[in-house]
C-alpha cells in the first residue's frame, strides 16, 4: 500500500522525488538504531545474571547505547527533513498541475460543480496527504521495521518464545483488515462533507448582500449549518465507529505480551528456558507491542491518504479540451468564420446550424433576445467550450480553432465578460493578467482608453491599490472599465466583448465607444449588445433568434427589412419615453 500511495502521488505531481525514498530509508535506519539498545541490553542483562559483568564491558555497552541514541537523532533528523520536503514539494506540484488542468477543462465541468468543492480537493484533500506523508510515513517505517528486527533477534535467542511474540500478528492483521473498509467509508464521508461545507461557505459569503436584501439569508444560513452538522457527524463517526475494532486490534497485540509471560513462565518452571532469557523477552516485548499498535494507526492513515489522492486523481482524469495531435500552421489572418455550428448544453439545444462571418478589422454586433445563443457563440469562438465534431466548425483565418494549440489560440483572443472577474492583488497585477511584461506606461495608456485612469489615480495607492476578492469596494462600472482596460492592454488581434458598456454610466459610455472604435481599426471585434443604440455604427449586425441566424446587415439595411432587429429597435426606443408615474407606469409627456 505504501508503494502504491507513493506512486500515485508522484504520478499526480508529474515527477519523482528521490528525497521521499531517501527519507523512508533513513526512517528504517532510525528503526535499526532504536533496536540496537535492546540487543545491548540483552548482553548487559545476560552478563550480569551470569556474574561476568565488568566495568570495561559496562562502559562499552553504555557507549554503544549512547552511540545508537546519537545515530538515531541523526537518522531521525534526516528522515524528517527529507520526508517533509518531498511531501510538500510533490503535493505542491500536484496542486499546480491540478490548477493547470482546471483551466483546460470545458466550462460544463464547472457548471456542474461548486467552486468550494474544487477548492476542498486542492486544499483539504491534499493537506491530508501532506500531513500523512510528512508525519506518518516515518512512524510506519519504524513501526514496521523495529518489531520485525527485534522479533527476529528474539527468535535467535529462543525460537519458541520468539514465535509466541509473532503469533498474535496474523489475528491482529485480520482485525485491521476488517477495520479498514469501515474506516475508508467514514473517510470518504468526511471528505465529501468537507467539500459540501466549502461550497456552502462560498455560496453564503458571495451572496450575503443579495441574501440580506431579499431577507433570505436565514434559509442559506440553515443550509450552511446543516452542512456543518453533517461534517461534524461524519468526523465523529470516523473516530467513533472504527474505535472498537482498533481497540480489538490493540487488545490482540497486547495478548502477545500475556502469551509470552505465560508460556515463558511455564517453560522456565520446567527448566527448558533460562530465567534471564524470560526476563529479556518480557522487557523487550513491551516495546515491540507498543510499536505494532502504532503500525495499525499508521496503516489506516495511509489508506486515508490514498483515498484523498484518489479524489485528486479523479479530478485530473476529467478530459480537457483536446489538444491537436498535429497542430495547424500559425494563424496569419484574424477573420472568424462560423460554419454550420450546432451546440447543446447536455440535452438542451442552444445553437442550430449557425453560419456567419466576423470580418478582420471590423466590428460585428451580436444581438437578439435573451437565450438566443449570443454568449454561447462567443464562448465557442474563444473555445471555452468545444464544438462537437460533426456539428460544424469555427475557423480563425481559415484554421479550425480545435486544431490550434490551447496556449496559441488564447494568445490571439482577449475577452471582456459581462460578469467581471477581478483577482485579489493590486490593480496593476489585475491589468497585467494577459500581458505580465507590460510597462507602467502601457498599462496607463490602456486604462486611459478604457476611461479607468482617472478613478484609479484617485485611489490612495493608485495602480498599487490592493483589491479584495471580486474587486473589493469598486463599483460595477469601475470593475467593467478595468476589465476593458485589461483586454486593451493584452493587444490581442481578436477582442470579444460581452455587453462591455452595460455597467458604465452615460458619460463614460461614449468614451468607451470611441475606445472600441480605435480597437476596430486594427482588430477583429465582436460585441454582444442588448442596448442596440451602442452598436448602431457596427460594420455588421448579426441577429440571433432561438439559436439561429435570423438577419445580418447594417443598422440601416436591417431597419429597412422591418424584421426582428427593427422590432427590437422600436421597442427599445419606445421604452425610453416611459417613466414611473403616480401609482402606475405611464408615457412621459413631451416638453
DSSP states of 42-107 as a string? HHHHHHHHTT---HHHHHHHHHHHHHHHHHHHHHHHHHHHHHHHHHHHHHHHHHHHHHHHHTTS-H
Helical packing angle, 275-316 and 18-49, nearest 10°: 170
- How far does CA 189 lie from the centroid of its chain? 19
pTM for the whole thing? 0.67
Identify the three-state secondary structure at position 353: strand
Q: Which of the two residues, 108 and 542, has the higher pLDDT score?
A: 542
User: Is residue 467 a contact partner of residue 506, using CB atoms and an 8 Å limit?
Assistant: no
Query: Span 75-84, mean pLDDT?
Result: 86
Query: What's the confidence (pLDDT) of residue 160?
Result: 86
Distances (CA, A) of 202 to 196, 205, 281, 541: 10, 5, 58, 39
- Would you say residue 576 has pLDDT above 80? no
More confident residue, 4 or 542: 542
The pLDDT of residue 591 is: 36
Tens of pLDDT, residues 55-74:
888 888 889 889 988 998 99
CA angle 426, 427, 432 (to 5 degrees): 100
Measuring CA to CA, which residue among 141, 109, 415 is closest to residue 295? 141
| Strands (DSSP E) found in 120-166 | none
When the pLDDT of each residue in the chain is averaged and rounded to a whole number, the result is: 81
Q: Is 230 left (phi over 0), alpha (psi -120 to 50) or beta?
A: alpha
Task: Please report the sign of the dihedral spanned by the C-alpha atoms of residue 10, residue 11, residue 13, residue 14.
Answer: positive
Tell me what the mean pLDDT of segment 111-115 comes to: 65
pLDDT digits (tens, 9 = 90+) for 395-412: 999 899 888 888 888 888
* Rounded Cα distance, 363 and 396, in Å: 15
Q: What is the DSSP letter of 325?
A: S
| Phi, psi for residue 230 in degrees, rounded to 5 | -65, -40
Largest CA distance in the chain: 124
Whether the Cβ atoms of residue 192 and residue 120 lie closer than 8 Å to each other: no
Residue 323, CB-side half-sphere exposure with 13 Å CA sphere:
7
pLDDT at 589: 44
Cell matching residue 404:
490550434
Strands, sheet with 540-545, edge to edge from the N-terminal-most edge strand: 413-416, 494-498, 524-528, 363-368, 540-545, 548-553
pLDDT at 113 over 70: no
Give the per-residue pLDDT at 191. 83
Taking a C-beta distance cutoff of 8 angstroms, is the pair 483, 492 a contact?
no
Query: Please, what are the domains in the chain?
Result: 2-316 (1.20.1560.10), 336-579 (3.40.50.300)
Put residue 318 in one of left, alpha, beta given phi > 0 → left and psi -120 to 50 → alpha: beta
Amino acid at each position: 500500500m505504501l508503494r502504491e500511495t507513493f506512486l500515485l502521488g508522484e504520478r499526480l505531481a508529474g515527477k519523482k522525488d528521490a528525497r521521499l525514498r531517501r527519507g523512508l530509508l533513513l526512517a528504517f535506519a532510525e528503526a535499526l538504531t532504536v533496536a540496537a539498545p535492546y540487543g545491548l541490553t540483552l548482553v548487559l542483562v545476560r552478563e550480569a545474571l551470569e556474574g561476568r559483568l565488568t566495568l570495561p564491558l559496562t562502559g562499552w555497552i553504555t557507549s554503544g547505547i549512547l552511540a545508537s541514541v546519537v545515530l538515531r537523532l541523526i537518522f531521525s533528523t534526516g528522515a524528517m527533513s527529507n520526508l517533509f520536503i518531498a511531501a510538500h514539494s510533490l503535493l505542491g506540484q500536484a496542486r499546480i498541475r491540478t490548477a493547470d488542468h482546471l483551466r483546460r477543462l470545458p466550462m460544463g465541468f464547472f457548471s456542474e460543480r461548486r467552486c468550494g468543492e474544487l477548492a476542498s480537493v486542492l486544499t483539504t484533500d491534499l493537506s491530508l496527504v501532506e500531513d500523512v506523508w510528512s508525519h506518518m510515513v516515518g512512524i510506519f517505517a519504524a513501526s514496521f521495521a523495529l518489531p520485525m528486527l527485534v522479533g527476529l533477534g528474539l527468535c535467535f535467542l529462543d525460537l519458541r518464545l520468539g514465535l509466541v511474540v509473532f503469533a498474535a500478528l496474523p489475528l491482529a492483521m485480520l482485525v485491521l483488515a476488517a477495520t479498514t473498509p469501515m474506516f475508508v467509508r467514514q473517510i470518504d464521508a468526511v471528505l465529501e462533507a468537507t467539500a459540501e461545507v466549502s461550497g456552502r461557505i462560498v455560496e453564503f459569503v458571495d451572496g450575503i448582500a443579495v441574501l440580506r436584501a431579499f431577507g433570505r439569508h436565514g434559509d442559506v444560513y440553515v443550509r450552511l449549518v446543516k452542512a456543518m452538522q453533517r461534517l461534524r457527524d461524519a468526523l465523529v463517526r470516523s473516530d467513533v465507529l472504527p474505535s472498537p475494532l482498533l481497540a480489538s486490534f490493540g487488545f490482540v497485540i497486547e495478548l502477545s505480551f500475556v502469551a509470552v509471560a505465560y508460556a515463558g513462565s511455564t517453560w522456565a518452571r520446567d527448566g527448558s528456558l533460562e530465567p534471564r532469557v524470560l526476563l529479556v523477552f518480557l522487557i523487550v516485548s513491551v516495546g515491540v507491542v507498543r510499536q505494532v499498535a502504532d503500525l495499525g494507526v499508521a496503516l489506516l492513515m495511509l489508506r486515508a491518504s490514498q483515498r484523498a489522492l484518489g479524489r485528486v486523481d479523479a479530478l485530473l482524469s476529467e478530459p480537457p479540451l483536446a489538444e491537436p495531435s498535429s497542430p495547424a500552421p500559425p494563424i496569419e489572418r484574424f477573420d472568424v468564420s462560423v460554419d454550420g455550428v450546432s451546440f447543446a448544453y447536455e440535452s438542451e439545444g442552444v445553437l442550430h446550424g449557425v453560419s456567419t462571418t466576423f470580418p478582420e478589422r471590423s466590428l460585428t454586433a451580436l444581438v437578439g433576445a435573451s437565450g438566443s445563443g449570443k454568449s454561447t457563440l462567443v464562448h465557442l469562438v474563444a473555445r471555452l467550450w468545444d464544438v462537437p465534431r460533426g456539428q460544424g466548425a469555427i475557423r480563425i483565418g481559415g484554421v479550425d480553432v480545435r486544431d490550434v494549440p490551447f496556449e496559441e489560440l488564447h494568445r490571439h483572443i482577449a475577452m471582456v465578460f459581462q460578469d467581471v472577474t477581478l483577482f485579489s492583488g493590486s490593480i496593476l497585477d489585475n491589468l497585467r493578467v494577459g500581458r505580465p511584461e507590460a510597462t507602467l506606461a502601457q498599462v496607463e495608456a490602456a486604462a486611459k482608453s478604457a476611461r479607468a485612469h482617472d478613478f484609479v489615480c484617485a485611489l490612495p495607492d493608485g495602480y498599487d491599490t490592493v483589491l479584495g476578492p471580486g474587486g473589493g469596494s469598486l463599483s460595477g462600472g469601475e470593475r467593467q472599465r478595468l476589465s476593458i482596460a485589461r483586454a486593451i492592454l493584452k493587444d490581442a488581434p481578436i477582442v470579444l466583448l460581452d455587453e462591455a458598456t452595460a455597467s458604465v454610466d452615460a458619460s463614460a459610455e461614449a468614451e468607451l465607444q470611441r475606445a472600441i472604435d480605435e480597437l476596430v481599426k486594427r482588430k477583429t471585434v465582436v460585441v454582444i449588445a442588448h442596448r442596440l443604440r451602442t452598436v448602431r455604427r457596427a460594420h455588421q449586425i448579426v441577429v440571433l433568434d432561438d439559436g439561429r441566424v435570423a438577419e445580418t446587415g447594417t443598422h440601416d439595411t436591417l431597419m429597412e427589412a422591418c424584421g426582428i432587429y427593427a422590432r427590437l429597435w422600436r421597442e427599445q426606443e419606445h421604452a425610453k419615453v416611459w417613466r414611473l408615474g403616480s401609482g402606475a407606469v405611464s408615457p412621459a409627456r413631451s416638453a
